[in-house]
Structure 1
């Protein structure tokens, strides 16, 4: 069957869907990605064709406008304190609805021409439910966020009411089977979602090429990965580095600083126990690590959970504060900020047998979740 996957062009949204797309393709189905923006090229790097639904539309403008309205120079922030409050949900849904409306014309045109028999969509991308309703085909919304909002699809439909009316869409998909990739113990929110094991896919190895020798060797001492993701470094996140280097030099560990595609001139001199790397697939590194320090993005948090390593999270924006709270509450990591990331805190995290024990527990919980191939078989059944 033909399967259309609708997503945003951000790495975290695309990467979350790739394992299921692989499972569906391996089962013999035709998979096509749809979204807007240059980031959709990540689909091609993973082996899938894609269609840019809005090649001439500035999809960053809604973010900039809201940041200006809130006097925020970086990321928008939701769910501080680990609580999903209605004003935050409303704010997020309004943003997602506006972004979805921008790609809606392209999504409708593509769906009418390509005629998919199943639509898979991240649950925060409203173009998926729109075209599934238009064609009256089953919809599978995937939630890859710890801040799970069970009725996200319905909320987006409501804020996109004018777009639905424009295309004369009054019905709903015949089947809606939501899927979630986050383990229940990290957010016990009950819903009708099928659980699907998160398989870490953190991007194509094309940028890396052959894995470096140091990564294939046993570390001489404990290794700690430090990453700020793809978004934070662009919005002042590198300002933490000078003070951080002084703290890292006092820790008996080897640090891998993975900063992606940033201007090397912005990186301060580093101590001898810090290795500077550009972009690295996190899942290729985390297996050799004893801990990870990161910004709290959902993809990075899930990759660390799958590796079973303790986490120190320096949340910056978006839903990262919620993720940090979930990690700390579950007992497998620490939520802090840049001013409190000290050599002592890192040393204590590395020494904590309790953090390590619970990190392994959650890894085993994830390992026991149904694999993407099992979910692919379930999805085949709902179309037949």
Structure 2
């Protein structure tokens, strides 16, 4: 079987799909990742074959500028003056990739397309080729309504390819633990979230003896580029009053706006998040989908800042399950809140309970067989109709 993985150029949204891609390859299937931008290099280093579907553009710079232009402006409601007409919303670069990706897929002839929620260009390719498309969820903030909005932004691309819109999804892979799932989509399959955060040589201090708790702190891969690291000023001030070690894992971001750091803060360039959390006692983060799920898998209590994009939904899911805290305002991120994060037995118990729940879910390797049967059933039905 050949599987095309299609998605936006933000590698943090591709990383949750890497374990399934590797499971497919381990089972003998061919996998090709179609995207653009920096995601190409990150996914190539994961051992996957990639293809650039929008050569010549810099998606990170374009997205950062888009967010800066949009900051502080309330998005208009549908039908309101200033609302984007059909086909004019933001397609997360799906429109820019649609033609080249369809051309490549027509030549490569995949049997199945897998894509994240904002990678609906994969749905277009699947509809064009008459093959199943499978959505691989990446957090708690995406529903069929949200996917429909992104598909709406692809209206011009659908028209270019002689389509009126996407075919229904063949399956929806939900990697959230059932006790926290916020969707009830048709054809939903639960699948275990297996963290993938890239590889690295780990520093010797990571697993060495410790005399005090360790708090991992991260803002993911997108927020430092778009918004900077100012949300962490509260963490720095809280650290001055907390007997704990704080590891700032910010991917080499400029820390100068945080001022002089206290001695119990250790900034690092890059440590795969799963490895860092396995050697930590708690985590403070921005609320990105991959980070939230990796923290849940690690069974750690978490503080979720949860501002912008799908982060409020991820933060609400964590708070609702009782395994994390969500400050309402930046000033609420205090030493007292950090202390509660480290000492609240209920938070830690609930976090571990969720980790056990996730470990019992069907693995990506177990899901491969279901995907093969899905592709075979569609091929049989398509052949019978000809």
The TM-score by the shorter chain falls in which range?
Answer: 0.7 to 0.9
Residue equivalent to 2:379: none
Residue equivalent to 2:125: 131
1:129 is paired with a residue of what secondary structure? Answer: helix
Residue equivalent to 1:168: 162
| 158-167 or 368-377, larger mean C-alpha shift | 158-167
**What displacement does 1:64 show?**
3.3
Report matched runs for 1:64-103 at 5 Å. Answer: 64-65=65-66, 67-69=68-70, 71=72, 95-97=89-91, 99-103=93-97
Q: 2-side partners of 1:358 and 1:239: how far apart? A: 30
Is the contact between residue 10 and residue 38 of structure 2 (CA under 8 Å) also seen in structure 1? Answer: no
**What displacement does 1:281 show?**
0.6
Residue equivalent to 1:372: 364
**What displacement does 1:123 show?**
2.5
Is the contact between residue 228 and residue 259 of structure 1 (CA under 8 Å) also seen in structure 2? Answer: yes
Q: 2-side partners of 1:348 and 1:373: how far apart? A: 38
Residues 271/177 of structure 1: CA separation in 2 closer, same or farther (3 Å cut): same
Residue equivalent to 2:39: 39
Residue equivalent to 1:346: 338
Q: How many residues align?
A: 368
Residue equivalent to 1:82: none
**What displacement does 1:38 show?**
2.3
1:37 is paired with a residue of what secondary structure? Answer: coil
Q: 2-side partners of 1:241 and 1:117: how far apart? A: 45
Is the contact between residue 114 and residue 133 of structure 2 (CA under 8 Å) also seen in structure 1? Answer: yes
Q: 2-side partners of 1:237 and 1:380: how far apart? A: 43
Residue equivalent to 1:198: 193
Is the contact between residue 142 and residue 178 of structure 1 (CA under 8 Å) also seen in structure 2? Answer: yes
Indicate whether 1:221 and 2:221 are aligned. Answer: no
Q: 2-side partners of 1:66 and 1:235: how far apart? A: 7
Report matched runs for 1:215-364 at 5 Å. Answer: 215-242=206-233, 244-336=235-327, 337-364=329-356
Q: 1-side partners of 2:307 and 2:194: how far apart? A: 25
Q: 2-side partners of 1:297 and 1:245: how far apart? A: 20
Residue equivalent to 1:81: none
Is the contact between residue 68 and residue 226 of structure 2 (CA under 8 Å) also seen in structure 1? Answer: no
Task: Give unpaired runs (5+ residues) of structure 1.
Answer: 79-84
Q: 2-side partners of 1:183 and 1:31: how far apart? A: 26
**What displacement does 1:363 show?**
0.8
Match of 1:114 among 108, 121, 133: 108
Q: 2-side partners of 1:240 and 1:172: how far apart? A: 38
Q: 1-side partners of 2:119 and 2:358: how far apart? A: 25
Residues 122/240 of structure 1: CA separation in 2 closer, same or farther (3 Å cut): closer
**What displacement does 1:383 show?**
1.8
**What displacement does 1:159 show?**
4.1
Structure-2-length-normalised TM-score: 0.87
Task: Give unpaired runs (5+ residues) of structure 2.
Answer: 377-386
Structure-1-length-normalised TM-score: 0.87
**What displacement does 1:61 show?**
3.7
Is the contact between residue 96 and residue 126 of structure 1 (CA under 8 Å) also seen in structure 2? Answer: no
Residues 66/257 of structure 1: CA separation in 2 closer, same or farther (3 Å cut): closer
Residues 249/67 of structure 1: CA separation in 2 closer, same or farther (3 Å cut): closer
Residues 324/154 of structure 1: CA separation in 2 closer, same or farther (3 Å cut): closer
| 1-10 or 60-69, larger mean C-alpha shift | 60-69
Residues 178/62 of structure 1: CA separation in 2 closer, same or farther (3 Å cut): same
Is the contact between residue 234 and residue 333 of structure 2 (CA under 8 Å) also seen in structure 1? Answer: no
Is the contact between residue 287 and residue 306 of structure 2 (CA under 8 Å) also seen in structure 1? Answer: yes
1:245 is paired with a residue of what secondary structure? Answer: helix
